[in-house]
Structure 1
Amino acid sequence: MNALRIPAFRRLWVGLGLSSLGDWLGLLALTAMANQLADGYAEKNYAIAGVLFLRVLPAIVFGPLAGYVADRVDRRTVLVWGDYVRGALFLTIPLVGTLWWVFVVTVLVEIVSLLWLPAKDATVPNLVPRHLLEQANQISIATTYGSAVPAAVLFALLTALDRVVPALMGWLDRGAVDVALYVNGLSFIVSGIVIARLTGIPSGPAAHADEGSVWRVIGNGWSYVLRTPVVRALVLGMAGAFAAGGVVVGLARTHVADLGAGDSGYGVLFGAVFVGMGTGLWRGPRLLARLSRRRVFGVALTGAGLLLVPLALVPHLEVVAALAVGVGFLAGAAWVTGMTLLGLEVPDELRGRTFAFVATLVRLVLALVLAVAPLVAGLIGVVRFGPVDATGQSLFEYRGAALTMLVAAVGMTVVGVLAYRRMNDDEGRSLVSDLGQALPQGLLDRAAGRYAPLGVFIALEGGEGAGKSTQARQLKDWLQAEGYDVVLTREPGDTAIGQQLRRIVLDPATGTMSDRTEALLYAADKAEHVDRVVAPALERGAVVVTDRYVDSTLAYQGAGRDLADAEVERIARWATDDLRPHLTVLLDLEPATGMGRFEERDRIEAESLEFHQRVRAMFLRLAAAQPEHYLVVDAGASVTEIADRVRERVTPLLEQAVRSGGTRTLRATGPEEPR
């Protein structure tokens, strides 16, 4: 399912696109107007620099307050009125027409944007199911930065039209610039109108809580970031990436000149970085789907730092441009992965403050780096070493820009390694082995799977004696009491053919069989199960609860029988037509404890303790790789405690499905005959 098919997110996306278009168009128009209003070459440069500096300054001063507002004020109110206020401010600029008012509006608009962006970022995880959050973040980030292109085209067309037909805009004091500002203001107002029609934006849990004073609320949010290892590693990693990126951006023009290229070379390098970044935002997580998101974040940061080393040292523009694509790709993958992890890891009541903290820190780091990097490069000057030829030239000669980039590369690599070590959630699994299977056909490539457009699909998994059947019945009874159309099923054996296959694979009288034969028999049961039971129920909008699914095949026939992971998954994919559960509940239990819960054992239960330990390890690996798809529960807890946790996780999934027009309650629609 595509995130844009969800009406609430689609409407927010339209508002975001209009706001982002206005933001980029506003930047172009404000700098152009500052240039027109200032006198003299130096004054014009100072005026433009003033606009750019004032876009960064508010984040340092008002950034902490932005997080407070995002978590304490109704988010829909912030989004709607934030757009209205920004639109009104831009509309006043052509009317006042002075440089000082341009500066004032720049500051005010940035303050409002600081409130608007965390509210938007904190809202997205509430509008889409967890398995679509990464896709939603990709769409949001691509829209935010991609709208710079149509904004630039629109501004260029307006200015060209003003030159060709001066009478068309001659009634305005500044012609095309004033028109751009009016269009800009209207884009924000239209965005506000679009979002105002969106009624499904949660206000935020903290909006009605009492945590004390403003500064205490802000302090609680920042304290959470600093004391939570995973979140702290995410925030520092993202700040480190922006620091290194700021060095490259700040020194790119000088570095290109040092390589003997001019403005065209600068354009090539600049474009290469953003081509790579756009590709990384969209394809990076899918390419690295073999790894858990926590590993992807550290690996992408480290890889970007390592690629920066040859980028700084190789004196050939063609190679530098190619490396810049790679750096941009890994940086884009790290950024979207970090944003997704923050949305998944941070509680909703702290999400606004956390995103505001990230925005403040990133802007502060970026501002400092952009100011300091050229100074450091200038202080380094030219460094020569190695043998000297007959003309007196050293074999190696590097200028300050390249060496400053080299320092940034080392720093980014260190940050990436530290983030990886802090966030590595699969220490027992070799990173080299995982990277070797990182291609889309490898294990855990969830991106290629499909999710039912209607209905909700929930699988319960776990080792022997974990209580899956009990929890499946508990969940079915609760769902039916809530008015949902529920289908409770199991694997293997919930079809006529499946019952015969179940007897073959589980009856001890069957004796030994080839491991591949066993895997194929289970795959045959899955194919019949999906075609006859699961898919028809999902198509009519039912909630399907299955006791075991694909993960059991990967765990038992893959890890347990020690068959090749990728081969077992390919069989399971084909058998189930790539149909994935929206949520998998993993009931985790020590194998020795689970095996002690019953006396008679079937053919699989009778396997050795080592076999079942390998099975458990695989279940946990699968859950760690895609945490948004899983709920891992300690199966040693009471039946009631486990059922409560499952309901808590399933509830928002059901609510989202109802909002998107999929699953529906029978209370509202009345009973429906099965198709």
Structure 2
Amino acid sequence: MTRAEQPTVVSPTSDALAADSRERAVRALLRVPPLKRLWSAQLVGGTGDALALLVLVLLSLQAAVLEGSFGTGYRGAAFAVAAVFGARIISTLLFGAVLLGPLTSLTAPGGPVDRRWLMIGADGLRLLLLVVAPLWIDWTPSNALTMILVTVFVAGMAERLWTVAKESAAPALLPAPPIEGAAVRPLPDHLDALRRLSLRTDFAAVPLAAAVLLVATAIGSLLGSGLDWFSFHQAALGSYVAAGLFSASISTLYFLELPRTQTPRPRSPLEGLRRPSAGNGPDKGRTGSIPLIVATCAAVAGAVAAAAAVAVLHASDLGGGPVTLALLVLALTGGTGVGIRTAGKVLPTLSRRRMLSFATAVTGIALLTMGLVPDTATVVLLAVLAGYAAGVAANTGHVLVDQETEEARRTRITEHLQSVVRILIALGAVGGPLVAAAIGTHRLTIGDFVFAHGGAAFTLMLVGALLLPVAVIVLAKTDDRSGVPLRRDLREALRGGDPAVAPAANGFFIALEGGDGAGKSTQVEALAAWIRAKGHEVVVTREPGATPIGKRLRSILLDVSSAGLSNRAEALLYAADRAEHVDSVVRPALERGAVVISDRYIDSSVAYQGAGRDLAPTEIARISRWATSGLVPHLTVLLDVAPETARERFTEAPDRLESEPPEFHARVRSGFLTLAAADPTRYLVVDAAQEPEAITTVVRHRLDQVLPLSEAEIKAREEARRAAEEEARRRAEEEAARKAEEERLERERQEQLAKLRAEEEERKRREEEEARRREAERQAEEARQRAEEARLRAEEEAARKAEEERQRAEEARRVAEAERVRREAQEAAYEAEQERLRRQAEEESRLRKEAEVARLEKQRKAEEALLRAEAARRQAEAEAQAKARADAAAAEERARERAAREEEASALAARQEARARAAQEEESRLRQDSRGSSRSEAGGSGSGDEPAGPDNELTVPTPIVDPNEITQPVPAPGDPASGSGRGPWPSDQDETTVIPKFSDDSEETTVLPAVQDTGGGAGVRDSDPAGRVPRGIFRDERPAEGENERTRELPQVTDPHVEQQRPRRPRPDWAEETPLDDLPSLADELLGGYDDEGPESSGGRGRRPRR
């Protein structure tokens, strides 16, 4: 069956996924409803995330200008923008690469986190953050920038969580393979198509977000004309629109069902950062250009990212606002997207390697001019040009990388390229604002010329200038048309393209191209045999020499003798052979629906005569297109091999073309690669240095995807489908029969169970009736037994109660008797105790009375002794006064006598008067001194007649009488000792006792004057006072210790020179305080109080004698 005979109706999704191109496979994924719903949520959420990042950049710039967190002026604003991108990159790196393993475990089918609810939660969190973000400037102006940076970090974390959940859930939504499986051809790579769809969606969300920001900002400006809040918060409406997009994503995900099946793990964005190995080191590609191409693509991407990062600063320098920012971002990213999509149509005849260098240079020049031009409209147009050129460079770089690598390693090389590009984009996004902050604003004035630009403009100039040497290096290192001026290639590419070309509508045309010795003939035979085995009609042909005229032309062209043939004639001869070949062989075979395999076609002329002979490739291609009426192959297999390797394969004498120098064959090889890079969907580049079988396998793999099905294959597919359907029907019938048999057996089992259940129920009913009868009899018997037992228990209970009553009465009687005996014993003991206490009280009362009588007697005698001592003191004072008067009279008499003598001795009057005055003064001084010493002795010893006691005499403390203390009988005093004295001594009963006081070492005990006995009686007082007082008055002897008596001692007496209040003995608890306590006692009346001591008695502790 030919292509025209194949059905053109829309096939199911699974058939569409098996399309003949990767682009159609990506579009076919969107026909799966769950995948389309998930893709819609990704597109809406991705647009909201990109819009949120732009809005947060604007808010951070506004907060930095108001707050000055990173410094005032231009540098502070640039640092704030860099901080926003840095926070986003850190969160993406942390949760997208570092913590990817734990997050994958959490979102796995057996993990604790549901993927759908995780995505809904991440969208909900970002919704809340974007609703609150514009309000931080109003709520916390001093911390607004900090809160915005936290918002950026959390939003980046939520985006990574959403992406991880999506990448682990999306493979589960892929459709199942067709029923016939891979019986006819290999199945398409669903996961690769899904990854490319996700990558394109993420990139498309950025220009969409810029467009949404442009519209939202324009609407916000209209609202700001009436509401001041929107004029101050110009980015607020964009923030709320982003929140609305997240809510739309939530509503989409809420109705999406995600199967919990095992899926491939999510891949880290930096997983392919290390370049794959080719066995002998990192893979550098066929020509060793992969490292340079990857670096060029990454440099262009980093430059565009830096330009987009400083766009907000450059918009401010141009006098714009959020609208200008949205236009610049839209121009840069949207232009890049358009350039990627249309790169294949830009100068298709120009070498792709030269196109990469040219696009890089245009990007650099556009960015450099953006920094120089101060006009906003021109800057936007230049941004569009820079973005478009960057997109062309990116697409061309991808095509060249695919061309340099084998298909088996192409996926890993592409991942490496994308990882490096992501790294450079991150560095450009952070480094651009930092460079702008480092440069700052500058103004240069030279006459009328003013050069004033901000740091963002200088950053654009710097980035654009750095791309120019990159373009030069790429051209120098990878140029495949060395020796041909670039301007000529550009002029020819701009002057016009090839005529309209199209593959044949019927059949399938395969062309094998490559240099001499690449192994085209071997592959033609192997492919022809393989395709015939599939049931196709195969026509094998070649150029030149496939027709009779072609053979003659071939002999002319390849004959060594035709070495002088001109280049143009050679090109025309090849074109003539091709025209005859197509009209007589190729088109008829294609119209029959056959598969035509041609060894060489138009590309050989373009490569050999265009690149090798230094002719214009566009002219060669135009002649060939005209000769073939625009017929191009469906698939061109380019067998790429180094000229040195190909020359080693020559087994015959080389012809005219094979005899060309190696430089010619190198240019031919570059020409082939340039053509393949211009249309990668129609070309398959295979490394011809491999084994022929490996080359055939690669080509067959590609043909399995694009070669139409033959009638045999269609029949085989139909047979496989019928067999699969028959097998499915058979399995269904077997399953139905099995289920029917199971149902029959289950039904019989249920019937048997029902019968058994009925019999069991009948048996149970009879058993229950018998059991009820037996139970009734048993209950009746138990009732009789219970009645009998109750009667017996009642009788036993009555007897037991009677016995208990008797025992209780007996016990009560015993207890009462014991209680009576105990009470009588207690009463007797109480009475005996009371009698004892009474006798003891009487005895104590008698003893207290006796002690009171003795105490009163003792007190009376002490008072009488004190009275006698006072009388003696007064009598001594009277005698002293009388003696003083007598002395005064004698002195007066002597004074009169002296006066008489002074009158008689007039000659000596003056001198005697002086002597008398001096003597009187001396006498007066001596009298004062003697009076002072007499006063001191009187204060310390009581009287000048009695000698003072010794310094080491023991001071006996004055006894303290306790009212409750039993007074000890005072012993009779002894006989007085003999001694000197005036007058007779009184009796022992009339003798006044001198009570010594305790003194310190610096004090003396004052001795009271002796009392003269007026009653007569001779006797001499003893010098020892202890012999003249009753025993027990002084405490120098240890009193007899009674049963309940203890003699108390007075406390130590402090120094009398220190004025302080003596501590008073606390009043006993039994003593009652009365108003008479403050009155002076009898001792105070007789001896005077302690306060009566004057300065004369400061030398001792005795009381001052009353006068």
TM normalised by structure 2 equals 0.45
Question: Do structure 1's residue 578 and structure 2's residue 611 form an aligned pair?
Answer: no
Aligned-partner Cα distance in 2 for 1:32–1:505: 65
Distance 1:613 1:440, change over 3 A: same
Contact 2:542 2:598 in 1 (8 A): yes
Query: Does the 8 A contact of 2:544 with 2:550 survive in 1?
Result: yes
Which is higher, the Rg of structure 1 or of structure 2? 2
Q: Deviations over 1:540-582 (max 9, x none)?
A: 7754321121123334555677654322210111233433332
AA aligned opposite 1:89: G
Deviation of 1:107 (Å): 0.8
Picking from 179, 185, 189, the partner of 2:250 is 185
Aligned position for 2:847: none
Task: Give the superposition deviation at 1:372.
Answer: 1.0
- The aligned residue for residue 11 of structure 1 is 29
User: 1:21: how far off?
Assistant: 2.0
Residues 587, 348 of structure 1: alpha-carbon distance in 2 compared, 3 angstrom cutoff: closer
For the 8 Å contact 1:68–1:352, the answer to whether it is kept is no
* Partner in structure 2 of residue 644 of structure 1: 693
Instruction: Please give the alpha-carbon distance, in whole angstroms, between the structure 2 residues aligned to 1:655 and 1:592.
Output: 28
**CA shift in 2, pair 1:58/1:595, >3 Å:** closer
1:242-268 CA-to-partner distances (Å, cap 9, x unmatched) read 333233333334434444556665555
| Match in the other structure for 1:622 | 672
- How far apart, in 2, do the equivalents of 1:305 and 1:23 lie? 33
- Contact persistence 1:247–1:373 (CA under 8 A): no
Q: How does 1:155-554 map to 2 (within 5 A)?
A: 180-187=245-252, 228=284, 230-259=289-318, 269-274=328-333, 276-343=335-402, 345=404, 347-348=409-410, 350-351=412-413, 353-354=415-416, 357-358=419-420, 360-378=422-440, 381-385=441-445, 387-388=446-447, 395-427=450-482, 429-439=484-494, 441=496, 449-451=501-503, 457-462=509-514, 467-481=519-533, 485-494=537-546, 498-504=547-553, 506=555, 519-520=571-572, 522-527=574-579, 529-530=581-582, 533-535=585-587, 543-554=595-606
Alignment of 1:37-116 (within 5 A): 55-62=88-95, 64=97, 84=116, 87-90=119-122, 92-93=124-125, 104=154, 106-111=156-161, 113=163
Amino acid at match of 1:572: S
Distance 1:293 1:438 in 2: 12
CA distance in 1, matches of 2:47, 2:454: 36
**CA contact under 8 A between 1:462 and 1:587: conserved in structure 2?**
yes
* Pairing 1:26–2:48 present: yes
Q: Which residue of 1 aligns with 2:964?
A: none
Q: Compared with structure 1, are the counterparts of its residues 187 and 362 closer, same or farther at alpha carbon in structure 2 (3 Å cutoff)?
A: farther
Alignment counterpart, residue 609 of structure 1, candidates 659, 666, 691: 659
| Cα shift at 1:474 | 2.3
Cα separation, partners in 2 of 1:470 and 1:332, compared to 1, 3 Å: closer
3-state secondary structure, aligned to 2:300? helix
Post-superposition shift, 1:156? 9.8
SS of residue paired to 1:631: strand
Instruction: Output one character per residue of 1:161-191: Cα deviation in whole Å (capped at 9) or x when no partner.
Output: xxxxxxxxxxxxx997765333213556899
Partners in 2 of 1:137 and 1:506 — Cα distance?
Answer: 55
Cα distance, 1:268–1:506 mapped onto 2, change above 3 Å: same
**1:211 corresponds to which residue?**
none
Task: Give the aligned residue type for 2:385.
Answer: G
CA displacement 1:433-462 (0-9 Å, x = unmatched): 4333333735xx79x644567765432234
* Distance (whole Å) between structure 2 residues aligned to residue 256 and residue 159 of structure 1: 18
8 A contact 2:47–2:206 mirrored in 1: no
| Paired amino acid for 1:382 | H
* Cα distance in 2 for residues equivalent to 1:137 and 1:531: 46
Give the 3-state SS of the residue equivalent to 2:513 in structure 1: strand
1:580 maps to amino acid: V
**Counterpart amino acid of residue 88 in structure 1:** I
In the alignment, is the contact (CA less than 8 A) between 2:272 and 2:412 conserved in 1? Answer: no
Report if aligned partners of 1:63, 1:357 keep a CA contact under 8 Å in 2.
Answer: no
SS at match of 1:545: strand
- Cα separation, 1, equivalents of 2:84 and 2:476: 40
Q: TM-score, normalised by structure 1?
A: 0.69
1:26-46 deviation per Cα after TM superposition (whole angstroms, max 9, x unaligned): 3278679999xx9x9799999
Q: 1:666 matched to which residue of 2?
A: 712
Q: Distance in 2 between matches of 1:396 and 1:324?
A: 21
Give the counterpart letter for 1:400 in structure 2: G
Distance of aligned partners of 1:454 and 1:362 in 2 relative to their CA distance in 1, 3 Å threshold: farther
Deviation at 1:373, TM superposition (A): 3.6
Q: Is the 8 A contact 1:455 1:537 kept in 2?
A: yes
Correspondence 1:593-604 to 2 at 5 A: 593=647, 597-598=651-652
Q: State the Cα deviation string for residues 67-116 of structure 1 (Å, max 9, x = none).
A: 999xx99xxx9xxx999577433454499889799965641432553797
Distance 1:245 1:612, change over 3 A: closer
Conserved 8 A contact 2:356-2:396: yes
Please give the secondary structure, in 2, of the residue aligned with 1:438.
Answer: helix
* Maintained 8 Å contact 1:460/1:468: yes
Q: Please tell me whether the aligned partners of residues 555 and 619 of structure 1 are also in contact (alpha carbons under 8 angstroms).
A: yes
Which runs of no fewer than 5 residues in structure 1 stay unpaired? 161-173, 208-213
The 10-residue stretch of structure 1 (271-280 or 89-98) with the greater mean CA deviation from structure 2: 89-98
AA matched with 1:357: S
- Give the aligned partner of residue 171 of structure 1: none
CA contact (8 A) 2:213 2:326 kept: no
Percent of aligned positions with the same letter in both sequences? 28
Structure 1: how far apart are the matches of 2:274 and 2:311?
Answer: 39
Displacement of 1:402: 2.4
> Helix, strand or coil: the match of 2:638?
strand
Deviates more, 1:247-256 or 1:47-56: 47-56
Cα 1:473/1:330, change in 2 over 3 Å = same
Distance 1:372 1:96 in 2: 30
Larger RCO (CA under 8 A, 6+ residues apart):
1
- C-alpha deviations, 1:512-550, integer Å up to 9, x for none? 988766645543543454456545655777543211211
Tell me, in whole angstroms, the C-alpha distance in 2 between the residues paired with 1:657 and 1:461: 18
Give the Cα separation in 1 of the matches to 2:245 and 2:419.
Answer: 32
Cα distance in 2 for partners of 1:185, 1:42 equals 33
Q: Deviations over 1:214-239 (max 9, x none)?
A: 9x987855889987464433443333
Match of 2:310, SS? Answer: helix
**CA shift for structure 1 position 313:** 2.1
1:323 alignment partner AA = L
